[in-house]
Chains A and B, each alone.
Chain A
Amino acid sequence: MFHICLLMFSPQNYPLYIRSVPSQNELKFHYTVHTSLDVVEEKVSAVGKSLADQRELYLGLLYPTEDYKVYGYVTNSKVKFVIVVDSSNTSLRDNEIRSMFRKLHNSFTDVMCNPFYNPGDPIQSKAFNGIVSGMMVQTG
């Protein structure tokens, strides 16, 4: 069973949305992701007004033992998406990750359009959850 985890962070770096499959590994993913946030920040600030950074971390860089690939993505409003996948899941290619991020971004925009959603709140939208589940099932 492939592990995959998705986290979303607000511009202030607190989590907006956390989802992982299987769900019992969440803590481990949290740690991974929090460290990866540092790298994201570094990249975002270094490049100045860069556009969305899609590919971010690679196997071997952070966790040589654990074989996780961590991908990052930053939206224009500095909302960060981080996806952690098993490196055993070699079937996931870069394009797929990119398309995943794109879908996430679109769904996130839909959530933003909802006037009842206050930016910065944890995301509880069922539609968003559905899309994320679909994505994870697809890749996991």
Chain B
Amino acid sequence: MCTMAAEQKKKSLRCRRKKIKTDIYLLCSVAPLRHRAVLLQSATIGGGSGQTQAEPAAWRCVFTGNHSCLVLIPSVVRQTGATYLEEGCIDLFARRVSASPSGSLHASPPGMDQESAAASGASLISLTEHEQRYYSGLHALCQADAPAKLSSSKVAELFKASQLPPESLHKVTEVCGAKHLGYFGTAQFYIALKLLAAAQSGLPVRLESIAGNLPLPRFAGLKNEPAPPASDPQGAPSGSVAWNAADRSSFRHLEANADKKPEPWSPPRSPCSSPPRSPLTYRSYPYSKQRNGVDAQISYDGKLSSRSIVQLEQHSSPGHYVNKPAAEHAAVAQASSAERLNQPATLSYSDDDPWRITVEQLDYYTNQFKTLQPDLGALILGAVAKNFFTKSKLPILELSHIWELSDVDRDGALTFTEFCIAFHLIVARKNGYPLPESLPPTLQPVPDQHQDERIPDTPESSEPLIVFEDAQPRSCQVVKDPNSVARLDPTLASRKHDLQEESLIQEPHQELDPQMRTKTRQRSYSSTSIDDAIKKAEEPPTPPPRPQKTHSRASSLDLNKLFQQGAPGVKSGWLLPPPALPPRPSATQVPHFLKVSEQASQNKVQQPNFADFSHFREEEESGVKLEEQGPASRFGLSSEDLGSASQQDVSGTPHGQAPQKPIRRKYHPESQNLETGAPPPAMPFLPPAKTSQKLLSRQKREIQMAIRKNRETNAVLRRLNSELQQQLKVVHQERVTLESQLELLRPLAST
């Protein structure tokens, strides 16, 4: 008892120091069993706070029959650490004491409580037979050592299993009278169950609510009575039967099972109990949700109760019952924190399941993707995606947020993975799930294989500047895809000034800024098969071996001569000898669908040959060299053979070139160079030149084709030239302005 005295003293001191609220702080210690001071109950008395001042003299002691001592002292609401609610120690005394404004004590046999409570309880509720059975079953579950008193921990678990928010649970506890009592008697338990049912039906937690007919309260993971009135969206009936045995055992063995593996479980029912079927949804989604929901609930409950059991066992008190502000027990805090802990944990689990794409979903997405873009490896442009997703009738703001979440590489276009993510988010949103702030882990895209292939390990140079310049044009590029040629020209022109290494660097650095950006940007225009991507990947690292030469036809030389006479000058880029291959030919091929093979071969050797190109251009005017003709004719011949190949690659070329930066990027046009070169993918199929039967007719055809091509190239080059001139002017202007700025600043700097 000395501890008690000490406690009392402490409390009285506290009372004196602080203004007292109207709470009565009850101490009770059961001498034979425990020596702890236990907060049994704190109830407000009347309304005034000043009436019961703290004085040691105001303490009253009551010795009850079961060796417990009730001491009533008005005290501060603030608690100290060691306040627990002990089972079996709490009398109806507390209740009656709190009820009477005078705060007087009554010594009454403990047995009285239950009767009065039961009486009051019975008057309030009338259980149907159905309910009776159900409740008695639950009652049996929660039986504790003390007769007629239910194990508060088990009741706590049961309450938690009802999946109501903790505030409701506290309210239920309070209303049913268990708070006053300090434990759950039968009547309180039944009342509480009815209140739970009311709360789950959405009614306020009040005694009046339970007057009417209510469905049975639903407890996740517990057995449900057959044919519960309320439909169980969780499909619990199916799972519950299997659960009956497991449930009881789980309740008993929960202490042992402290470590339940966290499993995904379906998110709280409230937001998505009845997901509307949007036009975009598909059948499989609800199935998976349900399936996982049942599984998850089981594990969730098990974990929850295990955790709560552990906590409660530690503190040996259902701390969460006492919800009064006075009861800021550590136990309460810990129990509630356990609840809170479970809730965020479950929320994170909830993320896993609905955010995981099932196989059927994936198929559906794939089909949708194909309708937008037949090639699965390609990108869907932003505008296209926008039109498509707008059909889902979600608000633009949400679609915008979904886009931000799903476009992980920030390139303004969606890869297949990103498209799946976006689609999935839209479906989830239409089903009622709130949009997450960030991408759930199961929905995160796996780094794309294609992109990896295209990232050579080259160093980057002057990245920050490039970032900016990339930033602006990038968005424009998405829009101006058709104008790839126009963009090509300036890039090609700028290529002149730059060294080859820079081009190599460009492409990788583009990729490095935020690495996915440029990679995907290159792909944004490719819209080609993976082959192209692979070819592009092959390009930067090493120039593929030049196709050279294998021209079995002896007539090629003759053709050269013919060509030379026929089409002087232009021999457009692709006529260059393998050493000097300007990227420009790719530009010509874009509009003209030149045989890609030539381009490919040329581009392969392009990189070492910039200087040659300019050199070649000069030669262009002066005259043409035979050697240049030769390869050109060779290419022309071989290109003919590549009829099919060109078809395939033609689409590739525009894309390869498209991703080049627009004029702005004068400093780093190499990338464009490389890109122009890159697209014409590696020429894996330089088909062997077929031996023609009639040389003459073939030659004629070839000549005509060559002439046509030359003319086209000529036109392109002319255009390119003019654009380059414009760019030159612009650059000059900028230089002038910069210089003038410098002049302006110089006097400032000096002052």
Establish whether residues A105 and B403, one from each chain, have CB atoms under 8 Å apart when the complex forms: no
Known: A47-B737, A115-B403, A126-B437; 8 extra A-B contacts, CB below 8 A, are A47-B741, A51-B734, A106-B471, A113-B475, A115-B382, A115-B386, A124-B400, A125-B404
Q: A48-B733, A76-B664 are in contact. Are A116 and B403 (CB under 8 A)?
A: yes
Establish whether residues A109 and B472, one from each chain, have CB atoms under 8 Å apart when the complex forms: yes
Interface on chain A toward B: helix, strand, loop, or mixed SS?
loop
Establish whether residues B400 and A114, one from each chain, have CB atoms under 8 Å apart when the complex forms: yes
Interface residues as binary, A64-86 with B (CB distance below 8 Å gives 1, 0 otherwise): 00000000000111000000000
Q: Which among B36-44, B406-414, B695-703 touches the partner chain?
A: B406-414
Residues of B whose CB lies within 8 Å of any CB of A are: 382-383, 385-386, 396-397, 399-401, 403-404, 407, 410-412, 437, 464, 467-468, 471-472, 474-475, 478, 664, 730, 733-734, 737, 741
A117 sits at the interface (CB 8 A) = yes
Shortest distance between the CB of A74 and any CB in chain B (Å):
12
Establish whether residues A125 and B407, one from each chain, have CB atoms under 8 Å apart when the complex forms: no
Q: How far is the CA of A117 from the CA of B385 in the complex (A)?
A: 13
Residues of A whose CB lies within 8 Å of any CB of B are: 47-52, 75-77, 102, 105-106, 109-110, 112-117, 124-127
Q: How far is the CA of A5 from the CA of B730 in the complex (A)?
A: 36
Q: A47-B741, A125-B404, A127-B404 are in contact. Are A115 and B471 (CB under 8 A)?
A: no
Shortest distance between the CB of B385 and any CB in chain A (Å):
6
Q: How far is the CA of A48 from the CA of B741 in the complex (A)?
A: 10
Establish whether residues B412 and A115, one from each chain, have CB atoms under 8 Å apart when the complex forms: yes
Shortest distance between the CB of A43 and any CB in chain B (Å):
10
27 contacts between A and B (CB under 8 A): A47-B737, A48-B733, A49-B730, A49-B733, A49-B734, A50-B737, A75-B472, A76-B472, A102-B464, A102-B468, A105-B468, A105-B471, A106-B471, A109-B471, A109-B475, A110-B410, A113-B382, A113-B474, A113-B475, A114-B407, A115-B383, A116-B396, A116-B399, A116-B403, A117-B400, A125-B404, A126-B437
Name the CB-closest residue of B to A114: B403
Q: A48-B733, A50-B737, A126-B437 are in contact. Are A112 and B403 (CB under 8 A)?
A: no
Instruction: Give me the 6 closest cross-chain CB pairs, A-B, nearest first.
Output: A115-B382, A113-B412, A109-B471, A115-B386, A116-B400, A76-B472
Shortest distance between the CB of A17 and any CB in chain B (Å):
14
Establish whether residues A113 and B411, one from each chain, have CB atoms under 8 Å apart when the complex forms: yes
Neighbouring B residues of A47 by C-beta, 8 Å: 737, 741
Neighbouring B residues of A75 by C-beta, 8 Å: 472
Neighbouring B residues of A48 by C-beta, 8 Å: 733, 737
Q: How far is the CA of A51 from the CA of B664 in the complex (A)?
A: 11
Q: How far is the CA of A102 from the CA of B472 in the complex (A)?
A: 12
Q: A48-B737, A49-B734 are in contact. Are A77 and B472 (CB under 8 A)?
A: yes
Name the CB-closest residue of A to B514: A106
Shortest distance between the CB of A107 and any CB in chain B (Å):
10
Residue from the list A51, A77, A109, A124 in contact with B474, Cβ < 8 A = A109
Establish whether residues B401 and A115, one from each chain, have CB atoms under 8 Å apart when the complex forms: no
Neighbouring B residues of A51 by C-beta, 8 Å: 734
Neighbouring B residues of A109 by C-beta, 8 Å: 410, 471-472, 474-475
Shortest distance between the CB of A15 and any CB in chain B (Å):
18
Q: How far is the CA of A104 from the CA of B235 in the complex (A)?
A: 50
Establish whether residues B475 and A112, one from each chain, have CB atoms under 8 Å apart when the complex forms: yes
Neighbouring B residues of A50 by C-beta, 8 Å: 737, 741
Shortest distance between the CB of A132 and any CB in chain B (Å):
14
Q: How far is the CA of A125 from the CA of B730 in the complex (A)?
A: 35
Name the CB-closest residue of A to B475: A112
Neighbouring B residues of A117 by C-beta, 8 Å: 400
Establish whether residues A116 and B464, one from each chain, have CB atoms under 8 Å apart when the complex forms: no
Shortest distance between the CB of A52 and any CB in chain B (Å):
7
Shortest distance between the CB of A124 and any CB in chain B (Å):
6
